[in-house]
Amino acid sequence: MKTTTPSPNAHPLPSLRWLAGISLATLLWLSAYSQLETLADLLLAAQGLSRQTAAGEALHFFFYDTPKVMLLLTGVVFVMGIVQTFFVPERTRALLAGRRLGLGNVLAATLGIVTPFCSCSAVPLFIGFLAAGVPLGVTFSFLIAAPMINEVALVLLFGMFGWKVAALYLSLGLAVAILAGLLIGQLGMEQHLEDWVQPLRNGQRAEFAGATPTWIERCEAGLAHVRSIVGKVWPYILAGIALGAGIHGYVPEAFMASFMGRDVWWAVPAAVLLGVPMYANAAGIIPVVEALIGKGAALGTVLAFMMSVIALSAPEMIILRKVLKPRLIATFAGIVALGILLVGYVFNLVL
């Protein structure tokens, strides 16, 4: 774990304290990250087990993956917390106001990655965007990208599958968000917004008048982000890795291939359908996913499942129902599901 709290009286200047704290934490982080394998071996040896046994293999998986994922997560979430202070929703809205379909969708999906977003704010954000004259299709691009491409998902994919899979997830996720938004925009479904939303459209001006935070405030925001995100997801990650470790050690090789392998054509749609009613964060799912893939499940199938779980959740649909009429909700869900389906098949074909 990264700590950025040096002793309070070490330096009189808070900015110096932050600088020293961050340098020290970075150093500690790097040295810990480079010793992960050694640590796992030591911990395993302390238990008197070897990797030759099923229990040993499972425990080694747990001892290696837990610190690795937690280190990566803490580092990236801290940096993301700082980046997010540059993209408060008000500013993102000002950037998107008056954009046209096309370039606007690309920008919206990209901003969706770095703008802080919580699904409980989905409705105010949605209306706020429309009110400032952001087109419906562009708003949807943002709304799809924001939950689907989050830093926790990317960190876990990177940590467990490497940068290529993380990059593929990022670009395909962006592609789904951009194309789905474009399509919804082209369909011209503005009349399928709830009636009370209609008069609010194109009402407000979109100016950004927030105070610019200082670097210390940005760092504090980063730390707060770590506390709220890592503090919230660590039990899921532990549980996920433990379950993954169990599968890793005990489930026979190629067991999953029979029903989640790439030759099973119905696996991708089944995975998407299965994912919609589930409301989990990426954190708990990916470790399990890694273990499943190790046993022969196809990556595309599993990624489609993951995208579906985090981008198309039943609770979010219920919240959005307050502003969207059923036809628009169905269109939104249908287009995104179709996009995820394509991503799943493409992954299975390419990899």
Residues that bind other proteins (CB under 8 A): 88-90, 93, 116, 118, 120-121, 123-125, 127-128, 131, 196, 200, 204, 319, 322-323
Shortest reach from residue 9's CB to other proteins, in Å: 20
Shortest reach from residue 228's CB to other proteins, in Å: 8
Shortest reach from residue 90's CB to other proteins, in Å: 6
Whose Cβ is closer to other proteins: residue 100's or residue 205's?
Answer: 205
Whose Cβ is closer to other proteins: residue 179's or residue 323's?
Answer: 323
Whose Cβ is closer to other proteins: residue 107's or residue 268's?
Answer: 107
Whose Cβ is closer to other proteins: residue 52's or residue 212's?
Answer: 212
Whose Cβ is closer to other proteins: residue 131's or residue 219's?
Answer: 131
Shortest reach from residue 168's CB to other proteins, in Å: 30
Shortest reach from residue 200's CB to other proteins, in Å: 6
The whole-angstrom separation of Cα 46 and Cα 40 is: 10
Whose Cβ is closer to other proteins: residue 196's or residue 259's?
Answer: 196
Shortest reach from residue 206's CB to other proteins, in Å: 10
* Assigned token pair, 347: 């992954």
Shortest reach from residue 312's CB to other proteins, in Å: 19
Instruction: Please state the φ and ψ torsions of residue 135, each to the nearest 5 degrees.
Output: -60, 155
Note the Cα 331 to chain centre separation in Å.
23
Whose Cβ is closer to other proteins: residue 5's or residue 53's?
Answer: 5
Shortest reach from residue 116's CB to other proteins, in Å: 7
Q: What is the 3-state secondary structure (H, E, C) of the chain?
A: CCCCCCCCCCCCCHHHHHHHHHHHHHHHHHHHHHCHHHHHHHHHHHCCCCCCCHHHHHHHHHHHHHHHHHHHHHHHHHHHHHHHCCCCHHHHHHHHCCCCCCHHHHHHHHHHHHCCCCHHHHHHHHHHHHHCCCCHHHHHHHHHHHHHCCHHHHHHHHHHHCHHHHHHHHHHHHHHHHHHHHHHHHHCCHHHECCCCHHHCCCCCCCCCCCCCCHHHHHHHHHHHHHHHHHHHHHHHHHHHHHHHHHHHHCCCCCCHHHHCCCCCCHHHHHHHHHCCCCCCHHHHHHHHHHHHHCCCCHHHHHHHHHHHHHCCHHHHHHHCCCECHHHHHHHHHHHHHHHHHHHHHHHHHC
The whole-angstrom separation of Cα 262 and Cα 347 is: 10
Shortest reach from residue 117's CB to other proteins, in Å: 8
Whose Cβ is closer to other proteins: residue 18's or residue 29's?
Answer: 18
Mention every residue, 6+ apart, whose C-beta is less than 8 A from residue 245: 58, 59, 61, 62, 65, 291
Whose Cβ is closer to other proteins: residue 110's or residue 121's?
Answer: 121
